[in-house]
Amino acid sequence: MQDVVEVLSIRRYKAGYEVRQETWLSHFEDEAEGHTILMREAYNPSGDYIGDPKFAFYLCQKMGIQPEKANLSHSICSIGFCPSKQKWYGWSHRAIYGFGIGDIVKKGDCAASSGWTDEYLREHPEKDSSLPVGFTAHTLEDAKKMALAFAASVS
């Protein structure tokens, strides 16, 4: 587990993110005392964690995406909107994909799968954020639903 001890510096970028140099205190279960680690991490303008600076550069500068958390209870941004392409994107450390008006969920798409096992979903049906095959994005809000389902599936 890591805790941010101190923010040493902040550099804000016009693309819509900031990079903070921070000291973190890392705790390991078998140690009485933690270790201080120097980190560079990226955050959106709301202070939500994006990831490492290279990934934030890719999302914000190269792709033009405005990262946000998929859910307020989450600790990391995994969806975002790109105004120039009028698309919602979902991602994890494994994949990224954009959804716009007119997109349709097809059989085998990540948005059609929750990423959970059938056994788990029988016990926790509320965790299923998948969309039915044939779901069509008629609005940007529908495209956002697709991005949310994709991000949940690949996380």
Quote the tokens at residue 83: 């105004």
Sign, Cα dihedral of 142, 103, 101, 64: positive
Domain limits, the chain: 1-62, 65-155
* Long-range contacts (CB closer than 8 Å, 24 or more residues apart) made by 23-30: 26/1, 26/2, 27/1, 27/2, 27/3
CA dihedral 154, 118, 70, 24 (to 10 degrees): -70
Q: Which two tokens stand for residue 85?
A: 């392409």
Contacts with 54 (C-beta within 8 Å, 6 or more apart), sequence order: none
What confidence score (pLDDT) does residue 80 get? 98
Q: CA 37 to CA 144: how far, in whole Å?
A: 36
* Residues of the chain under the 50 pLDDT cut: 1
Q: Supply the pTM of this predicted model.
A: 0.88
